[in-house]
């Protein structure tokens, strides 16, 4: 250790000898500090960030995971965004513009400006997502950022957008925190959340599995997993179930066998998988391979529940999905005019039906554009006021409210089951129950959090 | 340190500080990317002090980056939003970690050293990711909240406070200049180390450590100092990441992040002073610019071609941009390693040498 100090001091002595050259460096540095005062954030727009002014077009930023555990969802989101841009610009068959009520959009862009877009890869990482969003804001002049297929990412980007003064229309994010403790004035969520999943799932679980069950949770270890576990646990314990254990698993783990083995001998008779995307595909497939579904525990049939389901995941999990219960935000089999119009134009464009991620992202883009049209300006505080408390219909899931207190949408939630006899490769989820919006509505205060200021 | 080095540092400083003026030409002229250039440049320069000077390949430097980030974040949360304490604490704490990890890992050399550092880094990553969730907030990442104590700051009004330097906000270009100045200082120190007797000792270790030992010299303290110094650089870079964007996530400690800095250094030129910085710029440029290209952009670029050729070109080129940017980077990396083992710096040297030769031949011809 003494030797270390010797070398250290030797270097220091060396440095002192050449202090002059060091001073030169400092001078350059000082000159640099003085220079940049004209490059401030406000220099981008006279009154707000990325004000399109007299430009003929506006730019939206589509920030989705193109790599990582949620890449499938990201790809579908991007398809939906492109379709939304087409419809906004008056191309294609118009999709939900034909069914949305009330509608201020005219099919000539937004406020007469053509809609353009830039894309980015969030890599399902907060760092990369924020960096990509910053690029869109700083370089590409994006007026609104949307996307995200992970709540951690959505929350990170949402807080960045609040600081930057740019609207964030959250895509697929299901954590209670997004519009709960981490809500922001500049962030809006159309998708439902874990709390609503729990409320919707409760009665069905009681009916199908009874009130005397022992549940074992495997939970994705981040904000979404935590809040979903909490919400589902509250629901099931309310039914009288016992929670045997809750185990956190890393996102993107790939192999879940080490987490599934202990379930076998835990005495639990229900496995709740708080996983999403490829994680859910892997954990469910492995659970089935371990024979969990064929087991009898405590004299009851062992059951697996996936609280948040999507058709893309069902597709990935293949036959394993059959008979599994869960909730979903939207399904292409819904028969209302809005859903039908969307499924039709999406199908014509890409040759297969959209996922719930595609649906929420498509709606979000239209809702943003419509709110700008209502407000008559792109100025965020006005646009926000136009969307707060906005009541609309014709976009799937029945009448929907964008609640002003927490920027959360309230609409019907679907309880679904993996289809036992699918009629096509896309007909994977069977709708068990459509839970009305009044049932899943909760008090905005229960999750805390502050929206923050209109003007930043 | 001679005149030539002074000039090198001065030119380096001038190039960095004028970056906002000319980086726009290649589409990189926006604060976030420039900040990344400066921060990862610093990270790579520090990494080069270990890998380039001593030849010890650490595969776990991202751990120090993460430790620096978390320390800086906690300084913002507990003490003050001023960047100076955050940067100082982060450098010191990551130095301590480097001392502990280096002390163990440096008992071995070569591949065993690499594996040991990798193991330590993965350990740090997993700790941050799940075990130490109360300190690191796991996957979600550590962020500022309105209820943080911040004992040295006055109570904030509405919304979250932002990082500052004695009242000057550090977002946008201010943040870039803050990072740039630290980068220039870091570069200067690395040049000074390279020219010092300490640096010479490190280079000697790289060329033949056994011979050094036979002369009765204990190389371990030198190696450990180099390890700690480069760990401190990494911690400093991690702190700067938090200064410009107050969020610290565990993913920046993952082994891929450690691998990235190795790539940067090799791409630019191992053991050269400027190389690692150039490598960092190339990789960050690819990550941010190439990944943003989509079919619409490609159609614009190839718009001059006849329609059906354009279609083919766009579908071919789209393999290499957007989510395929890793592929482009891989191809570039392979080309560099195969044809220019000394990295981009070797390329420059070869061009310069050729140019010089031609000039000489030319002047010789003129004399005849």
What ipTM was predicted for this assembly? 0.81
- In this structure, the answer to whether residues B247 and B356 fall within a common structural domain is no
The model's confidence at residue A152, banded by pLDDT at 50, 70 and 90, is confident
Q: What is the mean pLDDT of chain A?
A: 86
User: Which member of A8, A10, A221 has the closest CB to residue B139?
Assistant: A221
Place of tokens 């996957």: B139
Q: How far is B19 from chain A (nearest CA, A)?
A: 11
| Whether residues A201 and A316 fall in one domain | yes
> Does the beta carbon of B324 lie under 8 angstroms from any beta carbon of chain A?
no
> By the 8 A CB rule, do B233 and B42 touch?
yes
Q: Which of B139, B220, B290, B325 to mutate to test the interface with A (most CBs of A within 10 A)?
A: B139
Q: What is the 3-state secondary structure (H, E, C) of B15-45?
A: HHHCHHHHHHHHCCCCHHHHHHHHHHHHHHH
Question: Residue A35 falls within a domain, yes or no?
Answer: no
Helix H or strand E segment including A326: strand A325-328
Structure tokens at B301: 């670029």
Is B236 inside a domain boundary? yes
Measured CA to CA, the distance from residue A306 to residue A49 in angstroms comes to: 41
> Is the pLDDT confidence value at B213 over 50?
yes
Strands B168-169 and B164-165: what pairing?
antiparallel
* C-alpha to C-alpha distance for B368 and B359, rounded to whole angstroms: 14
Per-residue pLDDT band for B360 (boundaries 50, 70, 90) equals confident
Mean per-residue pLDDT, A167-176: 93
Do residue A319 and residue A236 come from a single domain?
yes
Is there a domain that residue A97 lies in?
yes
Q: Is residue A129 in a domain?
A: yes
Same domain, A113 and A171: yes
- Number of domains composing chain B: 2
Same domain, B239 and B327: no
Q: Within this chain, do residues A160 and A214 fall inside the same structural domain, yes or no?
A: no
Give which of B2, B1, B13 is closest to B274, Cα–Cα. Answer: B13
Name the band, by pLDDT with cuts 50, 70 and 90, for residue B159: low
Q: Nearest chain A residue to B143 by CA: give it.
A: A156
Are A344 and A314 within one domain? no
Q: Which two tokens stand for residue B238?
A: 């991690």
Answer yes or no: is pLDDT of A6 > 90: no
Report if residue A453 sits inside a domain: no
Give the model's pLDDT for residue B158.
62
Residue B139 contacts A where some CB pair is shorter than 8 Å: yes
| Domain of residue A162, residue span | 57-192+332-411
Residue B155 has what DSSP assignment? Answer: P
- Measured at the CA of B232, the angle between CA B227 and CA B233, to 5 degrees, comes to 100
| pLDDT tens digit sequence for B265-322 | 999 999 899 999 999 999 998 888 877 777 777 777 777 777 788 878 878 877 777 7
Label residue B156 by pLDDT band (50, 70, 90).
low
Say yes or no: B117 and B216 in one domain: yes
Are the beta carbons of B144 and B213 closer than 8 angstroms?
A: no
- Check whether B187 has a pLDDT greater than 50: yes
Residues A185 and A154 grouped into a single domain: yes
**Where do the DSSP E strands lie in chain B?**
142-143, 164-165, 168-169, 247-248
Mark whether B301 and B241 lie in a shared domain.
Answer: no
Instruction: Say whether both B62 and B179 belong to one domain.
Output: yes
Check if B225 contacts A (Cβ < 8 Å).
yes
Q: How far is CA B9 from CA A30, A57, B174, B204, in A?
A: 15, 44, 22, 24
On whether residue A207 sits in a domain, the answer given is yes
Whether residue A218 sits in one domain with residue A301: yes
> To the nearest whole number, what is the mean pLDDT of chain B?
88
A232 near A272, Cβ under 8 Å? yes
pLDDT in tens, A391-400: 999 999 899 9
**Distance (Å) from the alpha carbon of A123 to chain B's nearest alpha carbon:** 9
Number of domains in chain A: 2
Domain contains B288: no
Q: Residue A32 is nearest to which of B9, B17, B323, comparing CB atoms?
A: B17
pLDDT at A16: 41
> Could you check whether the bond before residue A102 is cis, i.e. omega within 30 degrees of 0?
yes
Could you say which residues from 67 to 106 on chain B have a Cβ atom under 8 Å away from some Cβ of chain A?
Answer: none
Residue numbers of B between 233 and 292 with CB closer than 8 Å to A: 241, 245, 247, 249, 251-252, 288, 291-292
What pLDDT was estimated at residue B202?
93
Residues A131 and A214 in one domain: no
Are B17 and A11 a contacting pair at CB < 8 A? Answer: no
Please give the structure tokens belonging to residue A385.
Answer: 């006021």
A367 and A399 in one domain?
A: yes
Beta bridge partners, A272, equal A217, A305
Query: What is the pLDDT confidence band of residue A342, given thresholds at 50, 70 and 90?
Result: very high
Task: Report chain B residues whose CB lies below 8 A from the CB of A119.
Answer: 292, 294, 322
SS3 B163: coil
Query: What tokens appear for A228 in the block?
Result: 């979903």
B interface test, pick of A2, A24, A33, A220 with most B CB neighbours within 10 Å: A33
Q: What is the rounded CA–CA span in Å between residue B63 and residue A81?
A: 37
Q: What is the mean pLDDT of residues A48-63?
A: 91
Residue of B nearest to A61 (CA): B292
CA distance B213 to A290: 57
Q: How far apart are CA A378 and CA A59, in angstroms?
A: 12
Nearest to B73 by CA among B14, B180, B160: B160
Is the pLDDT at A9 greater than 50, yes or no? no
> What is the predicted pLDDT for the residue at B312?
82
The mean-pLDDT minimum among A113-127, B47-61, B110-124, B132-146 falls in B132-146
In this structure, are residues A115 and A369 in contact, taking their beta carbons and an 8 Å threshold? yes
3-class SS of residue A307: strand
> Same domain for A233 and A317?
yes
**pLDDT given for residue A39 in this prediction:** 40
Using one digit for the tens of pLDDT, what is the confidence trace for B63-119? 999 999 999 999 999 999 899 999 999 999 999 999 999 999 999 988 999 999 999
Is B198–A25 a contact, with Cβ atoms under 8 angstroms apart? Answer: no
DSSP A321: G
What per-residue confidence (pLDDT) applies to A8? 40
Q: Which domain holds residue B146?
A: 3-271
Cα of first residue to Cα of last residue in chain A, in angstroms, is: 52
Q: Report the run of H or E that residue B355 belongs to, with start and end.
A: helix B343-367
Residue A88 covered by a domain: yes
Give the gyration radius of chain B's Cα atoms: 22
B100 and B166 within one domain = yes
- List, as one string, the DSSP characters of B245-260: S-EE-GGGGSHHHHHH
B66, B130, B140, B174: best to mutate for the A interface, most A CBs within 10 A? B140
Percent of chain B with pLDDT over 70: 96
Do B261 and B179 share a domain, yes or no? yes
Domain final residue, candidates A305, A328, A351: A328
Contacts of B197 in chain A (CB under 8 A): 10, 14
Q: Which residues contact B216 (CB under 8 A, 6 or more apart)?
A: none
In Å, what is the CA distance from A446 to each residue of A232, A400, B137?
16, 21, 22
**CA geometry: angle at A430 spanning A427 and A433, to 5°?**
150
Whether A283 and A249 have beta carbons less than 8 Å apart is answered as yes
What is the Cα–Cα distance from B240 to B246, expressed in whole angstroms?
A: 9
pLDDT in tens, A423-446: 888 888 899 999 999 999 999 989
Residue A319 sits in a domain whose CATH number is: 3.40.50.2300
For the stretch A216-270, pLDDT in tens is 999 998 889 999 999 999 999 999 999 999 998 888 778 999 999 999 889 899 9
Report chain B's terminal Cα–Cα distance, integer Å. 40
Residues 6+ positions from B117 with CB-CB distance below 8 Å: B58, B59, B60, B61, B101, B105
């Amino acid at each position: 250790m003494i030797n270390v100090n010797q070398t250290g001091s030797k270097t220091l002595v060396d440095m002192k000898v050449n202090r002059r050259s060091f001073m030169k460096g400092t001078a350059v540095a000082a000159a640099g500090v003085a220079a940049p005062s004209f490059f401030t954030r406000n220099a981008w727009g006279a009154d707000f960030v990325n004000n399109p002014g007299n430009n003929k077009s506006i730019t939206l930023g589509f920030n989705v995971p193109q790599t990582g555990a949620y890449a499938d969802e990201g790809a579908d989101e991007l398809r939906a965004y492109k379709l939304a841009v087409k419809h906004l610009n008056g191309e294609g068959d118009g999709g939900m513009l034909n069914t949305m009520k009330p509608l201020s959009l005219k099919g000539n862009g937004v406020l007469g400006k053509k809609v353009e877009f830039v894309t980015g890869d969030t890599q399902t990482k907060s760092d990369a997502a924020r960096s990509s969003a910053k690029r869109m804001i700083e370089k590409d002049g994006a007026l609104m950022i949307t996307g995200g297929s992970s709540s951690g990412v959505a929350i990170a980007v949402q807080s960045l957008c609040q600081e930057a003064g740019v609207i964030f229309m959250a895509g697929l994010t299901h954590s209670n925190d997004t519009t709960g403790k981490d809500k922001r004035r500049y962030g809006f969520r159309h998708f439902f959340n874990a709390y609503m999943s729990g409320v919707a799932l409760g009665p069905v679980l009681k009916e199908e599995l009874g009130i005397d069950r022992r549940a074992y949770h495997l939970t994705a270890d981040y904000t979404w997993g935590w809040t979903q576990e909490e919400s589902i646990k509250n629901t099931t314990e309310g039914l009288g179930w016992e929670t045997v254990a809750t185990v956190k698993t890393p996102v993107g783990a790939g192999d879940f066998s080490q987490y599934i083995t202990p379930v076998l001998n835990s005495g639990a008779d229900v496995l709740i998988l708080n996983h999403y995307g490829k994680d859910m595909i892997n954990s469910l497939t492995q659970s089935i391979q371990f024979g969990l579904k064929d087991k009898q525990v405590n004299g009851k049939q062992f059951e697996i529940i996936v609280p948040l389901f999507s058709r893309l995941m069902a597709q990935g999990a293949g036959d394993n999905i059959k008979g599994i219960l869960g909730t979903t935000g939207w399904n292409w089999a819904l028969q209302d005019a809005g859903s039908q119009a969307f499924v039709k134009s999406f199908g014509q464009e890409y040759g297969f039906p959209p996922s719930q991620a595609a649906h929420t992202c498509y709606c979000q883009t239209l809702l943003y554009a419509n709110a700008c049209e209502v407000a008559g300006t792109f100025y965020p505080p006005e646009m926000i006021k136009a969307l707060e408390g906005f009541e609309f219909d014709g976009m799937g899931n029945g009448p929907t409210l964008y609640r002003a207190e927490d920027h959360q949408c309230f609409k019907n939630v679907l309880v679904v089951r993996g289809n036992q006899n699918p009629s096509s490769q896309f007909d994977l989820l069977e709708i068990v129950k459509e839970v009305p919006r009044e049932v899943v509505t909760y008090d905005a205060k229960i999750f805390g959090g502050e929206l923050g200021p209109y003007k930043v | 340190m001679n005149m030539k080095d002074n000039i090198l540092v001065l030119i380096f400083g001038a190039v960095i500080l004028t970056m906002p003026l000319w980086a726009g030409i290649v589409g990189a002229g926006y604060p976030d990317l420039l900040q990344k250039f400066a921060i990862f440049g610093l990270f790579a320069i520090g990494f080069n002090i270990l890998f380039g000077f001593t030849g010890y390949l650490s595969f776990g430097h991202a751990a120090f980056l993460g430790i620096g980030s978390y320390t800086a974040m906690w300084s913002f949360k507990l003490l003050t939003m001023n960047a100076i304490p955050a940067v100082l604490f982060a450098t010191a704490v990551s130095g301590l970690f480097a001392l502990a990890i280096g002390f163990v890992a440096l008992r071995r050399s070569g591949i065993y050293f690499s594996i040991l550092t990798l193991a330590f880094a993965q350990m740090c990553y997993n700790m941050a990711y799940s075990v130490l969730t109360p300190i690191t907030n796991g996957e979600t990442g550590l962020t500022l909240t309105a209820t943080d104590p911040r004992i040295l700051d006055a109570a904030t009004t509405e919304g979250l406070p932002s990082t500052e330097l004695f009242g000057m906000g550090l977002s946008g270009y201010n943040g870039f200049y803050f990072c740039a100045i630290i980068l220039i200082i870091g570069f200067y120190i690395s040049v000074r180390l390279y020219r010092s007797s300490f640096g010479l000792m490190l280079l000697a270790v790289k060329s033949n450590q056994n011979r050094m030992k036979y002369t009765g010299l204990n190389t371990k303290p030198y190696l450990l100092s180099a390890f700690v110094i480069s760990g401190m650089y990494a911690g400093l870079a991690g702190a700067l990441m938090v200064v410009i964007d107050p969020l610290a996530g565990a993913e920046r400690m993952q082994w891929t992040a450690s691998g990235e800095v190795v790539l940067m250094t090799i791409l630019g030129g191992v053991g050269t002073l400027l190389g690692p910085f150039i490598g960092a710029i190339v990789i960050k440029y690819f990550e941010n610019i190439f990944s943003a290209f989509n079919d619409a952009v490609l159609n614009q670029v190839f718009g001059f071609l006849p329609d059906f050729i354009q279609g083919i070109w766009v579908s071919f080129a789209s393999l290499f941009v957007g989510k395929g940017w890793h592929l482009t980077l891989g191809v570039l990396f392979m080309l560099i390693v195969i044809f220019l083992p000394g990295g981009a710096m070797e390329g420059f040297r070869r061009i310069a040498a050729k140019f010089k030769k031609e000039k000489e031949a030319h002047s010789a011809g003129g004399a005849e």
